[in-house]
Copies of this chain bind each other. A is one copy, B any other.
Amino acid sequence: MPRPRSLTPDRLAAAALAVLDRDGAAGLTMRAVAAELGMSTMALYRYVEDRDQLELLLVEAVLGAVDTSMPTDPEWTDKIKTLVDRVRMEVESHPAVVPLLLRQRHRAVGSLRWSETVAGILRAAGFDGARRVVALRGLLSYVVGALQLEHYGPLSAPGTVTIAGLPRDEFPVMADTGAHARTVSRDDEFRGGLDLLLSGLQAVSPADPGSGGPASA
């Protein structure tokens, strides 16, 4: 008499996410997730092949919550900003997922759906072939890098080398830069960097050559 499955992938992912949110990446263990569900550790292996697959399920859960529908902003650059904001919002509501994101990203369908929408925006803006590949990859690189930098903290974070107590003779420019850093909010930093990239994209955009055309690319 086969017992019915007591778990759905969704419930598993939700339990894993609860553990992750509560105990951080280091606390995410098969044992902890099983305990969260009130099951034996080995029961998980009936639903998931190994720990790696559990992480994938978790990443899918986070990225799957991202709205990837086409934004309605009139400007294509604003459309992209909106999409970036959406991932950022979702990821930052589960900060501990950041370290898992990279390893699972290319296997997660949610990541692909996001890319599909962004690539669609780029195509509509006139980016074809290799231009679109480079543009999409560039955006992805920036978003991934910026999320990681945000997660692992700014230079002011606790560590051997804090930007505050920097030897001015050895790092004069950084000492000065660090002094201004506290006046820039996390949002300004993230969006400011994205604006730089979008400004570069606009400069090389075939459909919308901007105010001056390609500057350096």
Residue ID in chain B nearest A162 by CB atoms: B106
Query: What residues of chain B lie closer than 8 Å to A173, measured between beta carbons?
Result: 116, 119-120, 123
Task: Among B115, B132, B138, B184, point to the contact of A133 (Cβ < 8 A).
Answer: B184
Q: A193-B134, A199-B199, A199-B216 are in contact. Are A149 and B155 (CB under 8 A)?
A: no
Identical copies of this chain, number: 2
A141-177 contacts to B, CB under 8 A, are 141-146, 148-149, 152-155, 157, 159-161, 166, 170-174, 176-177
10 new A-B contacts at CB < 8 Å, known A133-B183, A200-B203: A116-B172, A129-B180, A132-B180, A134-B193, A138-B192, A140-B145, A192-B217, A198-B216, A200-B200, A212-B212
Q: Enumerate chain A interface residues (CB-CB to B < 8 A).
A: 56, 77, 102-103, 105-109, 112-113, 115-116, 119-120, 123, 129-130, 132-138, 140-146, 148-149, 152-155, 157, 159-161, 166, 170-174, 176-177, 180-181, 183-184, 188-189, 192-193, 195-204, 210-217
